[in-house]
Amino acid sequence: MVSESEKSPADEERVFDALLAHIRRERRLDCSQYKESFLRRRLTVRMRARDVDTYQAYLGVLRSDPAEFDALLVALTINLSYFFRDTAVFEALRYAVLETLVAKRAQSRRLTVWSAGCAGGEEPCSVAMILTDLLGTAISKWDVQIQATDIDANVLARARRGVYKPLSFQDLQAGFVERYFTHDGDTYTLQPAIRRLVTFRQHDLTTPPPLPRYDLILCRNVLIYFAREYQESIVRHLLDYLEPGGYLTLGMAEMLPLALSSRLEAVDGRLRIYRKMKE
């Protein structure tokens, strides 16, 4: 019988593929489009934590310990976020995007927003706070739908609670904590009026979203997990659900795929805020 340490690199590669298939089957997380280097790095972190040094041994741990599966999912779907992440982006979203949309939709009073890959909800709730600021008490007469989706069920459970720690407040703008949170020590609870504007759902962003059309789609710091060849098809997919004249924003470290640049005009290229051209 061949011992673990005698396994050839080719065997390990086969087990690596088997590991990804196991994750897909058991937890419906399809990693095939993620960067391989990213996957290997995250797996190594978990393997070290469990003191195993082959994919085969780690597959055994996953099969016998559901808690390790949870830990692996957290590692694979790094879900760090914070309110108003990249202050300049949210300033621009307020003054160049949301104000314009509010004026444009003054008749129908309907606004639809999709935060794809919302993690703990800081991003969609930042949009909800800005809209509450802009509309004031009139917001009760508007149909504001902010759909916030993520593939990770645990992070969504946290988002639905609306309770945050100081880590989520690195970029928060002055006045927002006082206006929209109650706090007790280092625990901050978001006001129900803001939470009510946001609907959280588990969803893989490569599949059709909850609503057919959005005025604004935020997909920030999510594309970085996908291999370059898939980034274009994901952005193309997002564009299918964006209103003509609607807005898309990506993460500051994410590039708009060149092949799609003729379908979008830059509102602010540096901040990765774009507007879909009328087709």
Taking the least distance from each CB to ligand SAM, the nearer of 227 and 277 is 227
Do 243 and 235 contact (CB within 8 A), yes or no?
no
For the question of residue 171 being annotated catalytic, the response is no
Min dist CB 7 to ligand SAM, Å, is 30
254 binds ligand SAM (CB under 6 A): no
Residue (253 or 259) nearer to ligand SAM, CB: 253
Specify the stretch interacting with ligand SAM by CB under 6 A; choose among 1-9, 183-191, 201-209, 253-261.
Answer: 201-209
Decide if residue 81 touches ligand SAM (CB under 6 A): yes
Of 10-18, 50-58, 87-95, 199-207: span binding ligand SAM (CB under 6 A): 199-207
The tokens of 278 are what? 């009328």
Q: Which is nearer to ligand SAM, 150 or 215 (CB)?
A: 150
CB of 203 to ligand SAM, least distance (A): 6
Q: Is 65 considered catalytic here?
A: no
* 80 contacts ligand SAM (rule: CB under 6 A): yes
Q: Which residue among 130, 155, 190, 238 contacts ligand SAM (CB under 6 A)?
A: 155
Contacts to ligand SAM from residues 216-245, by CB under 6 A: 220-222, 225
CB nearer to ligand SAM: pick between 132 and 221 = 221
Active-site hit among 86, 94, 150, 220: 150
How far is Cα 116 from Cα 208, in angstroms, rounded to an integer?
11
Among 58, 126, 150, 248, contact with ligand SAM (rule: CB under 6 A): 150
The residue within the footprint of ligand SAM, chosen from 119, 172, 248, 264 (CB under 6 A), is 119
Contact 169, 123 (CB under 8 A): no
Instruction: Examine residue 121 and tell whether it contacts ligand SAM (CB under 6 A).
Output: no
Whose CA is closest to 225, among 34, 72, 29, 76? Answer: 34
DSSP secondary structure, the chain, as one string: ---GGG--HHHHHHHHHHHHHHHHHHH----TTB-HHHHHHHHHHHHHHTT--SHHHHHHHHHH-HHHHHHHHHHHT-----TTSSHHHHHHIIIIIIHHHHHHTTTT-EEEEEEES-TTTHHHHHHHHHHHHHHGGGGGGSEEEEEEEES-HHHHHHHHHTEE-GGGGTTPPTTHHHHHEEEETTEEEE-HHHHTTEEEEE--TTS--SSS-EEEEEE-SSGGGB-HHHHHHHHHHHHHTEEEEEEEEE-TT-PPPGGGGGGEEEEETTTTEEEEPP-
Count residues binding ligand SAM (CB under 6 A). Answer: 22
Nearer to ligand SAM, 117 or 162 (CB): 117
Enumerate the active-site residues.
42, 150
Contact residues for ligand SAM, defined by CB under 6 A:
77-81, 85, 117-119, 123, 150-152, 155, 204-206, 220-222, 225, 251
